Amino acid sequence: MNPCKQCGEELPDEARFCYRCGTPVEQETVEKPSTVPAGPPPPLEFIQPALAGGMFLGILSSVPFISAGNCLCCAWVVGGGALATLLLTKQRPSGVALGDGAFVGVLSGLFGSVVATLISIPVRILSARFFASQQQAMEDALRQLGLEGPIRDLALRLASPEISATTLLFTFFMNLLVYSLFAMIGGILTVAILEKRRQAPVRR
Amino acid sequence: MKTKTYVALLAGSTLWCASILLGPITGSSAIYSFFAMICHQDPSRSWQLLGEPLPVCIRCTSIYFGFLAALWLRLSPKTRWLRIAVVFMLCEFVFARVLLDAALLRSLSGILFGITAAPFVRKGIEEMNGESM
């Protein structure tokens, strides 16, 4: 029973007008929660955050002196993965999965190793004098160790100031291994610390 | 549940830590050169084995072995502990520069960070490989 707001007459629940004074009865409208489930979150764009993270870690890891930051547990590389993940979370404020952080970290490590290898070419040219002395020291060390054959040739080629396909490939693969691993860890831990993560979708 | 990712991660981490110990045992310059990419290798800040410094510093060694221990123990991820570990390590890093640089503190902060980070890394890689529900 609802009382009429005008005259106070008790009215049944279904009444639309007061049968005594004719005042319309305001029906209480209860908003029902939407039964339509929210759609899937928009797909994430991984490439741009990974490129930004890759540029960050690639440049800082290959510029002489600044690259020494990597002596602190690969700080620049871990930071590049973290930066990529931070940019990724901006696309989805509700949070990303740990797997998304891992994936964007690996991608930024991949891009970073390409950038670092490309930057290493002019760096090697500019610091050829230093590499020349390093090669002499390497030759002396190998002679003392008694190393001969292909291992000695490879070591000398890597220490050589000359830029060859061997040195570039070796630099690239070593960077790829270390950068992908540590940038991935940086990406995962950033998601974990921010704790804006959601359950990973089931992939079948 | 043991996934392929877990087994691979466990094998890789065990190999990683074993190679740290093998550096001074074998005297391999290749091991020292590899770890030079990720650590300063200052002998005064590294533990020694058979009279030779390990290829990574005390903090790095503690992180890697803490990481490996957490994998073997199959610990579950705890966000609060990870945050505490990160803050502790940052505080210890600053504290070491301004007041007291102690190997014990570096070691403790490294072990705590490694232990708390490993379960998240495992879960993250499993999710990336589509193995985690």
Tokens 């570039």 correspond to what residue? A168
Write b or e for each residue in B97-107: b if 16 or more Cβ atoms lie within 10 A of its Cβ, otherwise e. Answer: eeeeeebebbb
> Which pLDDT score, from 0 to 100, does residue A201 have?
55
Residue B126 near chain A (CB below 8 Å): yes
- Whether residue A72 and residue B40 make contact (CB cut-off 8 A), yes or no, is yes
Tell me the ipTM for this assembly. Answer: 0.90
> Which pLDDT score, from 0 to 100, does residue B115 have?
96
Residue B38 near chain A (CB below 8 Å): yes
User: Helix, strand, or coil here: B49?
Assistant: strand
**Higher-scoring residue by pLDDT: B33, A163:** B33
| Cβ-contact B86, B114 below 8 angstroms | no
Query: Could you tell me the mean pLDDT of each successive run of 10 residues in chain B, 133 residues long?
Result: 86 95 88 87 88 91 95 92 93 85 90 95 91 65
> Which pLDDT score, from 0 to 100, does residue A85 have?
93
Residue ranges of the domains in chain A? 47-194
Q: Which of A98, A174, A204 sits opposite B124 (nearest CB)?
A: A98
Question: Residue B101 corresponds to which amino acid?
Answer: D
- Whether residue A71 and residue B38 make contact (CB cut-off 8 A), yes or no, is yes
Q: Which of A97, A187, A193 sits opposite B82 (nearest CB)?
A: A193
How close does chain B come to A139, measured CA to CA in Å? 14
Mean pLDDT value across residues A98-110: 93
Tokens 């490939």 correspond to what residue? A169
The tokens describing A127, both together, are 């610091």
Mean pLDDT value across residues A23-43: 63
Q: Please say if the pLDDT value at position A203 is more than 70.
A: no
Q: Which of A102, A174, A204 sits opposite B124 (nearest CB)?
A: A102
Reported as a pLDDT band with limits 50, 70 and 90, residue A199 is: low
User: Helix, strand, or coil here: A2?
Assistant: strand
Q: Please say if the pLDDT value at position A147 is more than 70.
A: no
